[in-house]
Chains A and B, each alone.
Chain A
Amino acid sequence: MEKPLTKHIRKDQRPLSLKEYEKVGGYESVRKILKGISPKEVQKIVIDSNLRGRGGAGFGTGLKWSFVPLDVLKPKYLIANADEMEPGTFKDRILLECTPHQLIEGMIVAAYAIQADVSFVFLRWAYKTAADTITKAIHEAYEAGYLGKNILQSGYDLEMHLHTGVGRYMCGEETALLNSLEGKRATPRAKPPFPQISGLFGKPTIVNNVETLCCLPHIINNGADWFNELSLTNDSGTKIYGVSGKVKKPGAWELPMGTTLRELIEVHAGGMADGLKFRGALPGGASTDFLVEDHLDVKMDYTHVAAAGSRLGTGTVVILDDKTCPVGFIKNLEHFFAQESCGFCTPCREGIPWVEKILNSIETGEGRLEDLKLLEFHTKYLGPGNTFCAFAPGAMEPLQSGLKYFREDFERHIQEKKCEFKNFKFQVSNSVES
């Protein structure tokens, strides 16, 4: 089984130096394209590879690039979205900390494909180790002539800078990220104009996720067909999946796209922790609909997870076990969304805190049966088409599916006026730690 993105990660996670990275074929894709593959041809290879964005939305990467006008004057920008902050998601951290040169190489490929001359890594503040590894790797890449003016005597120029954010989930949304890079509040922008036409400082801009960018050197080196064949399904490539929650061995693994949820949990994560049963899972972070036992054999790719009523999202799974309260679980998610709403549009700013308050009432035994209708009202009116960006609809995904799959838990809280999970929470946590 091929693991192109993670095969050079050492056991102790120390990143490869530039020299070590070159020894295992690093920067080969940059040499290859600069020797005579045109930007349009690079775009065509990536379109044929069917690479889709690994940040959550799953938009075709090559298609996204193709809207950037190649003939306009510089500057044009390429940005690596390393603002990983989707609760339950820890896949980009691994790539950033352990394979910084792979990211830089991918960024050069992407930048070349759209003929960008300036690039930024937009890194979240909390990733201190990554900030060090990326800073060092950018410096090494400049020294070796992979960045700067006239890269490898090809006539192509690319500058690269690291920007560390100051903490806001909204910065992961690409137009909000651009506002933040411009020194503004991270609120989303209206589209059109799309960033490909008018992005950072009004110039053509592409924002790609870290894992997406890390796929690029391998696609250029091995071809589109190879990338398609890595997958078990029609959605190409490998995927860095993760599992967190009360399983025996939480972690992240690079596996063929289309690996089932059951294999992730039972094989790679070692199964549920002793004495606990699987109740449900968020397949790709906080803003994805729950999958439940019936879905364990769903292939974890964009198409199959969507057919099961959810989204692949970031592909990092959060597990809900049978001794953890689903109402408390969802309240925790909605607390996050209420806090992180940028406040720009009214339904999101006002609606999500109201949802959190209702969930709090239910959890503490003060809920009313009609509150369930109120929650359903919110899932509809904060859903797609009613808010300025995808933030609130994302926040409603675990709530709407939670109301569907765990309805009896909501009703029992209301009828019994208490949370019966509270009693054994401590016991279970102790057993997991011991």
Chain B
Amino acid sequence: MPSKMLTTEEIKEINHAIELVPYKKAACIEALKVVQQNRRWVSDESLKEVAAFMEMSPEELDSVATFYNLIFRRPVGRHVILLCDSISCWVMGYEKIKNSLNEKLGIEFGETTSDDRFTLLPNPCLGTCDCAPALMIDNDLYRNLTIEQLDEILSKYK
């Protein structure tokens, strides 16, 4: 079966993480992060490559990968929107923001727009509760959200 091997750069980054821990397997979450960073998500094929490199069975690695909210085992779009759905944001109008995003993007939570531009996901408390409601797109945090701001925010991401 043809397999896209881990790149030299990926191996370098994973090895750096391995240096900090007493045995290889302990760096497996770091390895998953490296691969996801480069490939957007962790496909079955990527998972097997990482498992082989980390000297783990794919099943063992998958049990770790699927445990964590932010290791994506299904494809995501070019930009991931994480909308905080926890208590302070809920009190301050999270549902309006959610409904507006659903309408503007034509997708529900867990879905990706047909042009592969956005994936919309709920996310537990973003730790910015005094500025609720809040969301993150990729690495950017947006707070004190109103539905009027959403078009402008979304337009920054192509």
Contacts and interface: CB of A to CB of B under 8 A. Distances in A.
A194 interface: no
A251 B92 CA distance: 14
A246 B92 contact: yes
Interface string B54-83: 000000000110011111000000000010
Contact of B123 (A126, A182, A316, A318): A126
Interface residues of B, number: 42
Contact of A286 (B20, B32, B71, B86): B86
Given A246-B91, A340-B124, A167 B69 contact: yes
Contacts of A426: 96
Interface stretch (A50-58, A79-87, A363-371, A399-407): A79-87
Given A85-B127, A167-B123, A244-B88, 7 more contacts: A87-B124, A88-B129, A127-B127, A166-B68, A183-B28, A245-B88, A286-B87
Contacts of A318: 87-88, 91, 129
B132 A244 contact: yes
A166 B87 contact: no
A166 B27 contact: no
16 contacts: A88-B125, A167-B123, A168-B69, A183-B26, A185-B63, A242-B129, A242-B130, A244-B88, A244-B129, A245-B91, A316-B129, A318-B91, A329-B90, A332-B87, A336-B125, A432-B92
Given A166-B32, A183-B21, A201-B22, A250 B136 contact: no
Contacts of B32: 166
Contacts of B48: none
Contacts of B20: 161
Interface size class for chain A? 35 or more
A250 B131 contact: yes
A251 B88 CA distance: 12
B9 to A, nearest CB: 19
A90 B128 contact: yes
Contacts of A92: 127
**Which 3 A-B pairs have CB atoms at the shortest separation, nearest pair first?**
A167-B69, A244-B129, A167-B70
